[in-house]
Copies of this chain bind each other. A is one copy, B any other.
Amino acid sequence: MTSKNLSLTLSPIGFFRCPAQYPYDVPRQGSLAPEAIGIIELNDELPCHLALKELDGFSHLWVIFWFHHNNSWRPLVCPPRHREQKVGVFASRSPYRPNPLGLSCVKLVSIDGNRIQVAGHDLLDGTPILDLKPYLPYADAVPDAIAGWTAAKPELRYAVVLTETAESHLAWLEANGLDCLRNFIHNHLESEPLNARRHRLENRTSDSASLAYRTWRADFTCDDEHRIVRVTAIRSAYTKDDLDNPTDRYGDKELHRRFVRQQ
């Protein structure tokens, strides 16, 4: 049997539902965002009352999913921790794989019919789910496993705090439907907040920058000695002229105008 004459065709058993829409909305591993909640919505045609029997006794499960944004692969990849040197795709969890299969361990919160609520995930809304398996600590937990290149550079975590001003901006935006920004800020600023190789930073200096999230910007300062990132304000990336112009490519100018007016 060779690979040349062999192929396996899979169909999703369901889809993932959560607020995260874009790859940069999610942390690089679900365990870094224990508060991120999502729903695995299994297909109606599956006999879920049978197929999920006794799954609720487990605290964690494996989700095997389809990296559906990825149509190509590369033998070398640049992992998200901004390392200088590329690593092999099989030495990474990069989505650019020969077979676009993702694997995440998530916390099981509850099961209601064909809907499974999970926490601590790194999946995007709409991700096709291919399989679920119970987490078996005696087979799956290797706490003393050697972590290769990921351990080579110990990670410094920063505390991310919001000033009163930034908090009021964020609260207003959340009340008006922009519910991904808070997670995004925490995910992106708790590690290497000022790394020069990061694409989402604007106006970077030695101790401050702005983080870009779609048409919004989070201004922050960084206290490297105490490992604290202080978010000072959220602001619109549109200029006054942009807001006066009726062309609305992202369909969000009305929200920006209201945000600017209420300040």
List the interface of chain A (C-beta within 8 A of B). Answer: 1, 3, 6-15, 29-31, 43, 46-47, 50-60, 62, 64, 66, 75-76, 86-93, 97-101, 103, 105, 126, 128, 130-150, 152
Contact yes or no, B145 A13, CB < 8 A: no
Closest to A12 in B: B3
Cβ–Cβ contact A91 & B139, under 8 A: no
| Given A89-B51, A128-B3, A136-B150, A9:B8 Cβ within 8 A | yes
A62 to chain B, nearest CB (A): 6
Residue from A54, A131, A136 having most chain B Cβ neighbours under 10 A: A54
What are 19 A-B pairs at a CB distance below 8 A? Answer: A3-B11, A8-B128, A10-B99, A10-B101, A29-B139, A46-B98, A51-B75, A52-B90, A52-B91, A55-B88, A57-B148, A58-B91, A58-B147, A59-B146, A103-B103, A134-B148, A137-B147, A140-B141, A140-B145
List B contacts of A87 (CB < 8 A): 53-54
Query: B residues within 8 A CB of A93?
Result: 133-134, 136
Partner of A90, one of B31, B89, B132, B143: B132
When all copies of this chain in the complex are counted, the total is 2
Whether the Cβ atoms of A142 and B135 lie closer than 8 Å is yes
Chain B residues contacting A132 (CB-CB under 8 Å) are: 90
Residues in chain B near residue A150, CB distance under 8 A? 134, 136, 138
Selected from B6, B29, B88, B141, the residue in CB contact (under 8 A) with A50 is B88
> With A and B bound together, what is the CA distance between A30 and B139 in angstroms?
7
Chain B: minimal CB distance from A213 (Å): 24
- Interface contact A75-B54, CB-CB below 8 Å: no
Shortest distance in angstroms between A106's beta carbon and chain B's nearest beta carbon? 10
Return the contact of A136 from the options B29, B62, B97 (Cβ within 8 A): B29
A100-B143 contact given A3-B13, A88-B51, CB 8 Å threshold: no
Is B54 a contact partner of A101 (Cβ separation < 8 A)?
no
B62 A100 Cβ-Cβ under 8 A = no
A99 vs B51: C-alpha distance in the bound complex, in angstroms? 13
Nearest chain B residue, comparing its CB with the CB of A59: B146
Q: Indicate if the CB atoms of B8 and A10 lie closer than 8 Å.
A: yes
Docked complex Cα distance between A38 and B168 (Å): 58
Chain B residues whose CB sits within 8 angstroms of the CB of A53 once the complex forms = 76, 86-88, 91
Cβ of A90 and Cβ of B9 under 8 Å apart? no
Contact of A54 among B55, B91, B133, B138 (CB under 8 A): B91
Given contacts A9-B8, A13-B98, A90-B133, contact A31 B147 (CB under 8 A): no
